[in-house]
Copies of this chain bind each other. A is one copy, B any other.
Amino acid sequence: MVQENHSKVPIPTLGRLATYLRVLNELQMLEVSTVSSAEIEQQTGINAAQFRKDLSYFGEFGKPGVGYSVSELQQSIAKILKLDRRQAVLLVGAGNLGSALVGYQGMAEHRMELMGIFDSNPSKIGTMLGTLRVQSIHCLVEVNMKLNARIAILAVPAQVAQSVSEILVEAGVRAILNFAPIPLRLPENVAVRNVSFMQELAVLSYQAAEEVSQLSEFESF
């Protein structure tokens, strides 16, 4: 299972680039023309030195004393992340989570376009979600012959996540955002990013209690 070895650029750097891009998009809408690393720090909470280091993986940006051209930096980062072109995205799972993702503005802002929604539940197939009709999972391979999406969002129950992910790979998908709380076993040329709410909440549950016990220890002195 390949997740973090796709490139020499650290994954956290790529994640932060997405954050810079969001801020640059906003500045562009406000018709701001230049920005300093200090302003980036203020807007994102990410250290100015970290920002400069993240950019250094991809060449030279900005001018001393002037700062960064918002439009140039926006275009450069979009190009690095391949978000400078329209990309088709598939969604499997038309439940609560899937529906939330359909309404998620961030995707459109980054030119990711949800082009197909699939489910195995007969009561969902044929219904509309946003502007798309939910299709049967059995049509996915055929439908993606036309769409050619390489990115998919997997929002299905844990029990079926592995088998559905294999259908996605068969359909040509090479990057999966997995919301099911199990790791997927897929060929090495498929990138997977896992998001598990319950895992995150369990970690927080542990940490919130740690905090309590630290406080009580403190109070007992």
- A interface with B by C-beta (< 8 Å): 1, 6-7, 9, 11, 14-19, 21-22, 44-46, 80-83, 87, 89, 95-97, 99-104, 106-107, 109-110, 112, 150-151, 153, 158, 162, 174-177, 181-185, 189-191, 193, 195-212, 214-215
Contacts and interface: CB of A to CB of B under 8 A. Distances in A.
Given A18-B202, A191-B210, 15 more contacts: A6-B210, A15-B196, A18-B203, A19-B199, A81-B206, A82-B209, A97-B104, A107-B198, A107-B201, A110-B202, A112-B201, A151-B204, A177-B200, A190-B211, A191-B211
Q: How many copies does the complex hold?
A: 2
A197 B44 contact: no
Given A82-B209, A83-B205, A199 B18 contact: yes
21 contacts: A6-B211, A7-B206, A14-B202, A18-B198, A18-B203, A19-B196, A45-B162, A45-B182, A45-B185, A80-B206, A82-B206, A95-B103, A100-B100, A109-B198, A110-B205, A150-B212, A151-B208, A174-B208, A175-B207, A175-B211, A177-B200
